[in-house]
Structure 1
């Protein structure tokens, strides 16, 4: 059995003693997926390393796709929990943009194993049986920020762009940098670069400094 990888996060999104075994399976699956890749990892490998049963894994997650999605959504939910209060409490669209980028890059720095997993799992979740659930989470993730942006467009402080363009402009460069850091191509942690990317995100959508 492997040791938990990031127990604080799983405690936050799946709290309580009754969910301890579910958290253990998530931790083991995360380690297995990152070590061998999603395609090469079997439910039986996870079962053996978690000292669990096939029935327990299927009870909690349905199948391997469900387990991959559960891990991905745990990461997204934790990101949203960190970002939403700061975005909702912002005093301006610019502050809201900075809150999104800063919390995302801090989260990636603090949760590198889940961030690494998200890089390899994103396409399979986005194109798989849980794509509608992902779309709903993304709507929630950017909902408060889009309200700020829509207000800014009306007030003349935000560029009027296609709605689907904002997420890429706001977080795309930060995600690219995070992937470079996770792969070892750059050494400075994302959280130490957050202001650089937050300023760039604001310049991409804002009409005032």
Structure 2
């Protein structure tokens, strides 16, 4: 699994080694068993630590689930921010949103699969307000970026709340099919097609 760099960025240093190990093994459990079927006991068995240590670091299963979810979400958004920072036009920005998304999924398929599986549970759980705040912040930042290109931005369809779905929706649908094995061609191979489709979907 290609999850180590994400956990190390989120929980750096030797003192966080046990926390990273618990999260790593929990990620395996969530992917293999499913979010609902995974238990603290199953996580304990994989990481060979005590239940007390798990509760000490994360409180409960929802604490583990949200820690993993937010670590993945932050990494995905940081990747997007780096791509957007180098754009000089609205078209470039739209292309960056798509290419960043597809590249991240292909580079981190286990994390992407987990994000899709866990989103509903996090949205309904005790960390739902944090998730809403994070999503709202991400939406505001992307809106500001896309609307910050002067006259170019006047071409974006309205209302703006549908824009993200227009841009990312088809790519997300294909990525889900790829991760589930229903299609074989890597999403990265269709970067140009999805990016151009997203760009055209925004034109009024």
Q: CA RMSD in A?
A: 1.9
Aligned mate of 1:165, from 155, 162, 166: 162
Q: TM-score, normalised by structure 1?
A: 0.89
Deviation at 1:156, TM superposition (A): 5.2
- Does the Cα contact within 8 Å between 1:152 and 1:158 map onto a contact in 2? no
- Alignment partner, residue 33 of structure 1: 30
Alpha-carbon contact 2:146-2:153 (below 8 Å) kept: no
| Alpha-carbon distance change, 44 to 98 in structure 1, aligned in 2, over 3 angstroms | same
8 Å CA contact 1:90, 1:96 repeated in 2: yes
Cα deviation 1:4-49 (Å, max 9, x = unaligned):
6521221222222221111111110111111111111100110121
Cα shift readout 1:50-84 (whole Å, capped 9, x = no counterpart): 01122221222221111111111111100011110
- Which residue in 2 is equivalent to 1:17? 14
Question: How far, CA to CA, are the matches of 1:131 and 1:74 in structure 2?
Answer: 15
Structure 2 gaps of 5+ residues are none
Change (3 A) 1:15 1:169: same
Q: Partner residue of 1:107?
A: 104
State whether residues 157 and 203 of structure 2, in contact with CA within 8 Å, keep that contact through their aligned partners in structure 1.
no
Partner of 1:204: 201
Distance, in Å, in 2 between the alignment partners of 1:81 and 1:159 is 24
Report the TM-score, using the length of structure 2 for normalisation: 0.91
Once the two structures are TM-superposed, the CA of residue 154 in structure 1 deviates from its matched residue by: 5.5
Q: In structure 2, what is the equivalent of residue 89 of structure 1? A: 86
Give the C-alpha shift of residue 128 in structure 1: 2.0
Q: Secondary structure at the match of 1:198?
A: helix
Given that 1:22 and 1:60 are in contact with CA atoms closer than 8 Å, whether structure 2 keeps it comes out as yes
Q: What is residue 181 of structure 1 aligned with on the other side?
A: 178
1:49 lines up with 2:50 in the alignment: no
Give the number of equivalent residue pairs.
Answer: 204
| CA spacing shift, 1:162–1:153, aligned 2, 3 Å | farther
The 8 Å contact of residues 83 and 104 in structure 1, kept in 2 or not, is answered as yes
**How many Å apart are 1:120 and its aligned residue?**
1.2
Residue pair 2:90, 2:152 contacting (<8 A) in 1 also: no
CA distance in 1, matches of 2:144, 2:114: 30
